[in-house]
Amino acid sequence: MFDFENSVQFAEKDLDLLTVGELLVDMISEDYGVSFENGTYHRYFGGSPANIAMNTKRLGIRPLVASAVGSDGLGQFLLEHLSRSGMDTSCVQQVDEATSLVVVTKSKSTPVPIFYRGADYRLAYTEELRAALLRTKIVHFSCWPLSRQPVRSAVEQVIRDARQNGTLVCFDPNYHPALWEKGEDGIEYIKSILPLVDIAKPSEDDAERLFGKDTPENQLQRFLDLGVKLVILTLGKDGALVSNGRETVKLETLATQVTDTTGAGDAFWSGFYAALVKGYPVRRALKFGLAVSAYKLQYTGAVVELPALETFQEKYPI
């Protein structure tokens, strides 16, 4: 049970967070639009788990990212970006596939992506990855690696080992049908994973893709009924609705300026994880998540220069 007024108690380990999944390039349009009519796109570091790892390092905790990139120029761009930021790249595997790419229009609402996948789903469960998992307090993954083999099998093994070793299992159920092979029932597969998850953070769009249209309260309950212990339903400009199965709380957004929504969910996870690891009670950690997301929304791109976590208390009502 996650009590909103209490901190999460972690065993002492030398890693705080292991993120497992895609490391890729985001090509984001220079201008706003939804039909990809823009002629100019700019290259950004991307991939949700990698974004979260980068963010949390800047917020003052110890992350590691496990991903796969191609042995090509874009893969080198991503590795160099990690290295310049002081990130350990020992669990980033280089494979004989093109580095994955997402083309997305700059947006003040939900971005519209086009996916070009290659290396990201070739991540293997290696001894290096297993050793990292045993060293961490929290493991995080999303729907991306679950949508294709062979990386799906690697993540399934990650989940099994994490549960066996008392590691907190956190899942971003960002289901998108375009990521799955034709004829495969991705929705039912995601539902089969949810009973193994401690914390999930769906957006309204995510919940609707998985369960159909419904009220936020009913969407929360669907995740709880499937066994998730803490559900954070983000509601865009309306903040977030959070339940631990016993109590439900509504949190208002802290955003006052929206320039680009790319990576806003990753920023929320980042602030939330950093605050949990630093010992803040769950309710306050959720507010840190909203604050970091609000800060990120002012800038274009999924990863921005973040100040230390504690400085958000000066900028936002936490």
pLDDT 10s digits, 33-70? 665 565 788 898 889 998 999 999 999 999 999 999 99
- Which pTM was predicted? 0.93
What is the structure's pLDDT at 164? 97
pLDDT value of position 39: 73
Which residues make Cβ contacts (< 8 Å) with residue 218, sequence separation at least 6?
none
pLDDT of residue 228: 98
Q: How do residues 171-216 score in pLDDT, each as one tens digit?
A: 999 999 989 999 999 999 999 999 999 999 999 999 999 999 999 9
Q: Which two tokens stand for residue 104?
A: 């997305």
Q: Please identify which residue in the block is written with the tokens 């802290």.
A: 254
pLDDT of residue 166: 95
Q: Give the tokens for residue 184.
A: 């495969």
Q: In what helix (H) or strand (E) does residue 74 lie, and over which residues does it extend?
A: helix 73-84
User: For the chain (length 318 residues), average pLDDT per consecutive 10?
Assistant: 95 97 89 66 89 95 98 97 94 98 75 87 97 98 96 98 97 94 96 98 96 97 98 95 98 91 90 98 98 93 87 92
Q: Sheet holding 101-106: strands in order across?
A: 41-46, 24-32, 101-106, 113-116
Q: Where are the beta strands (DSSP E) in the chain?
A: 15-20, 24-32, 41-46, 63-70, 92-95, 101-106, 113-116, 136-142, 168-172, 199-200, 230-234, 240-243, 248-251
How far apart, in whole angstroms, are the C-alpha atoms of residue 9 and residue 62?
A: 17
DSSP state of 316: S
